[in-house]
Every structure is written in C-alpha cells, then in structure tokens.
Chains A and B, each alone.
Chain A
C-alpha cells in the first residue's frame, strides 16, 4: 500500500526541541518531493517547506525559514520536521504530503498528521 505514516502526538514545553517524522512506503520514496504543511487549530492549511529525498534539495516558506529544519534519510524513506526551540504558537497539526510530479504539483498523498501541543 502506498502511504505516508507520521509519528505520534507530541506534548512539549516552550523552549524544548522536537523532531517529527514521516515515513513513506509502497513507492519510490527518493523520487517524489515531500512537503510539510501546518494547520493551526481551527485554521486553514499553511505550506512550510519541501524536500526532495533524492538529493535533499530543500525549500522553505520565507515566513518560516529559520524557525524549522526539514531533513530526510532516504535510506529509511523518512522525512523530518525539526524545531530547536518551540513556542506556544507552534501548537498545530502538522501534515507531510507527497507532490504528485515535481516540485510545483498537487499533493496526491498525505500523512495522517502529527499533533504538536506546546504549553508550559
């Protein structure tokens, strides 16, 4: 089965670090861009950035650059989203999604989402 499976719920304190994951299976993971999309509570979708597992080429949303790090380990078909210092405003659902064909295409497959709650 072709799917993206994300890591589970995270509850963290402000200032803490975090790395969440997105594991692909059932397809050639290295050949498709993987994006990260944020959805804050009760809000719409917000693109954070994207990575190409084949060569780790990474692009970030200008509004979020420097606040998160996107990485990949193609040997285990897994992409990551990482924070070094969490803020309460990072509380959101985070989705990974596969770009259908190329960097600028639609997202044809999504992970189930990882809920991140940041609170003191």
Chain B
C-alpha cells in the first residue's frame, strides 16, 4: 500500500512561514489534499488537489507537490493556526485514501 510520512511536529514563530511536508514515493504523480484539525474538532479541508484552496480558506495557505514531497505552506502564521495538519492521497493499489499521521503545528 502507499505510505505517506509527515513530521510529528513543526514549530514556527508568530508571523513567520510554516512548511509541513508529506513524503511518499513519487507523490508528485498523485493529487494531495490537506486537512486541519483543531483539538476536539472535526478535520477541515484547507488545500485540495495539491494547491487549490476551498472557499473560506485564507490566501496564506498554499500547497505544492513534486517528486517525493508535497508541502503545505502557511504564511504569516497566526496563533489560531495551531492545529494538527494531515495530508491525504489516493492509494491506487488498494483503491482507497491514505492519510498521513499528521503534523502538530506549534506557534
């Protein structure tokens, strides 16, 4: 099955730029989605199809995907951005989605 790996934690200073990686074999050939999950809440889609922002998600959130790494970038980080961020791709071998383990963003 397709495996995606994320760093367990990412730290960033207030107002700076955070980057969260999602690594997988040739992940650049797949479509990657990113979710934000705050404590006690449901996940929320923040980036889909590598770099598209759903309605209501600020322009500070962006995504890229190439080679073996997909990246979620959050610019001008705010305290309210603290959350777990999880990537998702489609495992074509097993015909099901696969989620990364999540990265806890600390501001």
Contacts and interface: CB of A to CB of B under 8 A. Distances in A.
Given A62-B94, A95-B43, A112-B42, A106 B99 contact: no
Contacts, number: 51
A84 to B, nearest CB: 23
A79 B48 CA distance: 24
A45 B88 CA distance: 9
Dominant secondary structure of chain B at its interface with chain A: strand
A47 B44 contact: no
B105 interface: no
Q: Could you say which interface size class chain B belongs to?
A: 20 to 34
Given A45-B86, A104-B90, A110 B43 contact: yes
10 contacts: A44-B100, A44-B101, A45-B35, A62-B94, A62-B96, A106-B49, A107-B45, A107-B88, A108-B48, A113-B42
Interface of B: 33, 35, 41-45, 48-49, 54, 86, 88, 90, 94-102
